[in-house]
């Protein structure tokens, strides 16, 4: 049986004679005498269950005309009549007599609503070549949903992959997991093929790599790995010697300061991994797939007046589903279109009026219903956002992790543009009359589309409650600076170059002492700090953590429990426009909760 990567390689080999010989079931291709060639190859085998899957594409055009290659991709789960789908589209212009290569970051459909007995996944690729017709390909996989999404390098997998998969399968069988016979350990990759964009790594919880492979990476690949790690990924480097982070060119502050799971350097003999210990290490790791499909649901159902566990959703308030109004409306309409219509508006002898009165009553009732809906729900929607901003001045970047929840009225459209390259994924929510994306099998299927910076589909729907999580790397020169020239025993003074007002600020000095601001800190101004304590910092982080769930909640709590390094700050704000990822314009975000943290620039 072919592996997923081998299957994708086979596509490239099969398409060469297919284009020349016109043997395509979806439509004939023009005979180009073998002058067109295409290779499609997945970087990871198999592709990840969430995030983006990077595909490497090489197109050759030996004809005398420029050719436009149009790729339509569909990632979907394979649950009968309720497939979650994510569509995307890419184009390549290949000049006459030339060869072009590109890397496509393909958004992956997530298995929402498939908690009990999950199905496989399919990736479909349609290729239209200017003047040469169309060709379709498909690739099937069976992801494991009870184990972290791991990417394991070829150097580690060559002699260990089979034993690691056997160990995972043994643990799943003994634990009664639904993973069953499809159990596997990670997606294999070659280090030289890794993307230079963190989004290409976003579908994985863990990346395993030998230290020699890390040292062989290009600078852009290393930066992508570091950015992915700062946004919550877990990087494990396996070394035969005793290297440290500095020797590997990894910023020391990345170890455990953003996430509760640390970037680690682990020992191995250069050939064999202990399968039992390795699987045991990753067995309890957090999973993004679970975060998206389960962590924010707060159980399978809520009583009418029960508050949701997710604090951000609770902050937009509860709303009852007024079913009695629908019943009253239907009863009144039934009386009007029935007895009143038959005996008053079109009595015996004038029954022909029914052809006029019945449509008019129906149209009038429909217009009245629209008016009632607009009066009750209004246009657009309201929502609340939690924005976590990790500022790293040395990298002139901010690492943004954003959660948002909203309730909509009537929407005239659900399309929006993301100005920053970002990953946005819907969250399954508690089972209420207003929620359509749920944990159980009654969940509505997710149908999403990405075309460049444009997003469409059912990210946002009329008269519904919905939530999303977003991640992005935002270029910035924003920072906090420590004022120089102060006496040794003087209280620290902080100068802001953030671009927004910080309402509450905590700072940990080089000795580990905690300080706080007595007043708000405005951009371009300075503030003198006063002595505080770890308990006050811990409470401030805990209060923010109540707005989140799952892994993000743990990361926020960890900042107050010692994961904020010396020489770093944590601030709270009501708005941070430069770092807030905007989505649907018709949503009124009535509440923004901003937590910004990172190192303070030293004089």
User: Tens digit of pLDDT for each residue in 290-317?
Assistant: 999 999 997 545 555 556 689 999 888 8
Look at strands 493-497 and 479-482 and give their pairing.
antiparallel
Do residues 254 and 230 lie in contact, with contact meaning Cβ atoms separated by under 8 Å? Answer: yes
Measured distance CA(110)–CA(112) in Å, rounded: 6
Distance of CA 503 to the CA centre of its chain: 29
Which residues have C-beta within 8 Å of that of residue 307, sequence separation ≥ 6? 314, 318
Q: Is 318 exposed, middle or buried (0-12, 13-18, 19+ CB in 10 A)?
A: middle
Look at strands 454-457 and 416-417 and give their pairing.
antiparallel
Read off the pLDDT of each residue in 152-166 and give the average, rounded to a whole number. 94
DSSP string, 21-65: HT--TT------TT-EEEEEEESSBS--SSSEEEEEEEEEE-SSS
How sure is the predictor about 370, in pLDDT bands with cuts at 50, 70 and 90? confident
359-363 own/partner pairs: CB under 8 Å, 24+ apart: 361/333, 361/336, 361/337, 362/337
Strand order in the sheet with 67-77: 133-141, 121-129, 67-77, 85-94, 447-451, 454-457, 416-417
pLDDT at position 321 is 55
Which residues have C-beta within 8 Å of that of residue 69, sequence separation ≥ 6? 38, 59, 91, 92, 93, 94, 127, 128, 129, 130
37-41 own/partner pairs: CB under 8 Å, 24+ apart: 37/62, 38/12, 38/69, 38/127, 39/9, 39/11, 39/12, 39/13, 39/15, 40/8, 40/11, 40/12, 40/125, 40/137, 41/5, 41/8, 41/9, 41/12
Q: Range with the lowest mean pLDDT among 96-100, 144-148, 232-236, 463-467?
A: 144-148
Strand order in the sheet with 150-153: 187-189, 150-153, 206-210, 234-239, 264-267
Query: Among residues 589, 375, 301, which one has the least CA distance to residue 470?
Result: 589
pLDDT at position 404 is 97
Read off the pLDDT of each residue in 21-36 and give the average, rounded to a whole number. 47
* First-to-final CA distance of the chain: 61
Other C-beta atoms closer than 10 Å to the C-beta of 355 total: 9
Look up residue 350 and give its two tokens. 């004038």
pLDDT at position 443 is 86
Q: Range with the lowest mean pLDDT among 16-25, 154-163, 324-333, 484-493?
A: 16-25
Q: Is 237 exposed, middle or buried (0-12, 13-18, 19+ CB in 10 A)?
A: buried
| Residue with the two structure tokens 């210990």 | 277
Phi/psi of residue 554, each to 5°? -65, -40
pTM for the predicted model, two decimal places: 0.86
pLDDT at position 241 is 81
β partners of residue 125? 73, 137
Tally of residues, the chain: 603
pLDDT at position 134 is 87
Read off the pLDDT of each residue in 213-242 and give the average, rounded to a whole number. 93
pLDDT at position 2 is 39
Do residues 530 and 491 lie in contact, with contact meaning Cβ atoms separated by under 8 Å? Answer: yes
Determine the number of helices (DSSP H) and then strands (DSSP E) in the chain.
12, 26
75 versus 179: the higher-pLDDT residue is: 75
Read off the pLDDT of each residue in 243-270 and give the average, rounded to a whole number. 70
| Residue with the two structure tokens 């022909």 | 352
Q: Is 583 exposed, middle or buried (0-12, 13-18, 19+ CB in 10 A)?
A: buried
Strand positions, DSSP E, 190-263: 206-210, 234-239
Distances (CA, A) of 214 to 48, 92, 158, 269, 545: 21, 31, 17, 17, 34
Which residues have C-beta within 8 Å of that of residue 214, sequence separation ≥ 6? 191, 222, 237, 248
Read off the pLDDT of each residue in 525-545 and give the average, rounded to a whole number. 94
pLDDT at position 252 is 67
Measured distance CA(528)–CA(530) in Å, rounded: 7
Read off the pLDDT of each residue in 154-159 and give the average, rounded to a whole number. 94
Measured distance CA(194)–CA(239) in Å, rounded: 19
Do residues 346 and 357 lie in contact, with contact meaning Cβ atoms separated by under 8 Å? Answer: yes
Rg (CA), the chain: 28
Residue 129, classed as helix, strand or coil, is strand
Read off the pLDDT of each residue in 190-208 and give the average, rounded to a whole number. 96
How sure is the predictor about 21, in pLDDT bands with cuts at 50, 70 and 90? very low
Which residues have C-beta within 8 Å of that of residue 485, sequence separation ≥ 6? 603
Query: Among residues 150, 260, 165, 157, which one has the least CA distance to residue 555?
Result: 260
Measured distance CA(197)–CA(138) in Å, rounded: 25
Query: Among residues 578, 429, 408, which one has the least CA distance to residue 498?
Result: 578
Domains in the chain, ordered, with CATH?
4-141 (2.60.40.10), 150-293 (3.40.50), 296-318+378-603 (no CATH), 323-377 (no CATH)
Read off the pLDDT of each residue in 137-158 and give the average, rounded to a whole number. 87
Residue 102, classed as helix, strand or coil, is strand
Do residues 153 and 189 lie in contact, with contact meaning Cβ atoms separated by under 8 Å? Answer: yes
Which residues have C-beta within 8 Å of that of residue 601, sequence separation ≥ 6? 393, 479, 480, 481, 482
114 versus 404: the higher-pLDDT residue is: 404
Query: Among residues 217, 208, 170, which one has the least CA distance to residue 188?
Result: 208
Q: Range with the lowest mean pLDDT among 27-31, 314-318, 334-338?
A: 27-31
pLDDT at position 175 is 65
Measured distance CA(499)–CA(502) in Å, rounded: 10
Whether residue 17 has pLDDT greater than 90: no
């Amino acid at each position: 049986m072919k592996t997923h990567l081998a299957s994708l390689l086979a596509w490239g080999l099969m398409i060469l004679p297919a284009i020349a010989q016109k043997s395509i079931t979806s439509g004939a291709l023009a005979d180009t005498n073998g002058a067109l060639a295409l290779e499609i190859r997945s970087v990871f085998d198999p592709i990840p269950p969430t995030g983006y899957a990077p595909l490497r594409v090489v197109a050759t055009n030996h004809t005398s005309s420029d050719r436009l290659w149009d790729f339509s991709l569909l990632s979907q789960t394979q649950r009968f009549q309720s497939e979650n789908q994510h569509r995307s589209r890419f184009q390549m212009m290949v000049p006459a007599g030339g060869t072009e290569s590109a890397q496509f970051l393909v958004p992956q459909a997530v298995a929402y609503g498939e908690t009990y007995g999950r199905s496989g996944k399919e990736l479909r690729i349609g290729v239209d070549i200017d003047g040469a017709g169309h060709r379709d390909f498909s690739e099937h996989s069976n992801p494991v949903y009870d184990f972290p999404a791991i990417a394991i390098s070829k150097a580690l997998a060559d002699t260990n992959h089979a034993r690691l998969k056997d160990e995972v399968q043994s643990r799943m069988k003994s634990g009664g997991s639904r993973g069953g016979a499809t159990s596997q350990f990670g997606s294999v990759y070659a280090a030289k093929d890794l993307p230079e964009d963190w989004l290409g790594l976003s579908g994985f919880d863990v990346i395993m790599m030998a230290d020699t492979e890390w040292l062989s990476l290009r600078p852009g690949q290393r930066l992508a790995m570091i950015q992915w790690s700062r946004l919550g990924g877990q990087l494990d480097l396996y070394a035969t010697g005793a290297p440290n982070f500095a020797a590997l060119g990894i910023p020391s502050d990345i170890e455990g300061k953003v996430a509760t799971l640390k970037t680690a350097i682990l020992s191995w003999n250069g050939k064999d991994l202990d399968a039992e210990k390795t699987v045991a290490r990753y067995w309890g790791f957090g999973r993004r797939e679970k975060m998206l499909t389960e962590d924010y649901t707060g159980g399978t159902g809520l009583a009418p007046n029960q508050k949701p566990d997710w604090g951000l959703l609770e902050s937009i308030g509860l709303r009852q589903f007024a079913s009695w109004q629908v019943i009253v409306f239907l009863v009144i309409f039934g009386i009007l279109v029935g007895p009143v219509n038959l005996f008053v508006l079109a009595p015996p002898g004038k029954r022909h009026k029914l052809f006029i009165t019945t449509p008019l009553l129906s149209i009038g009732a429909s217009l009245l219903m629209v008016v009632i809906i607009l009066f009750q729900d209004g246009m657009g929607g309201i929502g609340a956002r939690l924005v976590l901003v990790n500022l790293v001045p040395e990298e002139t970047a901010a690492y943004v992790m954003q959660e948002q929840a909203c309730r909509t009225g009537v929407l005239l459209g659900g399309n929006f543009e993301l100005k920053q390259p970002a990953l946005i994924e819907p969250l399954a929510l508690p089972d209420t009359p207003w929620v359509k994306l749920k944990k159980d099998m009654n969940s509505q299927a997710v149908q999403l589309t990405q075309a460049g910076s444009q997003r469409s589909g059912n990210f946002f729907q009329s008269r519904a409650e919905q939530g999303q999580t977003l991640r992005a790397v935002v270029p910035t020169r924003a920072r906090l600076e420590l004022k120089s020239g102060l006496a040794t025993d003087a209280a620290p003074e902080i100068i802001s170059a953030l671009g927004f007002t910080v309402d509450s600020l905590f700072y940990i000095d080089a000795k580990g002492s905690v300080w706080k601001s007595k007043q708000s800190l405005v951009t371009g101004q300075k503030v003198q700090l006063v002595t505080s304590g770890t308990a006050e910092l811990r409470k401030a982080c805990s209060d923010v953590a109540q707005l989140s769930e799952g892994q993000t909640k743990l990361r926020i709590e960890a900042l107050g429990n010692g994961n904020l390094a010396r020489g770093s700050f944590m601030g709270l704000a009501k708005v941070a426009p430069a770092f807030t990822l905007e989505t649907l314009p018709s949503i009124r975000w009535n509440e923004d909760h901003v937590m910004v943290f990172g190192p303070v620039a030293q004089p």
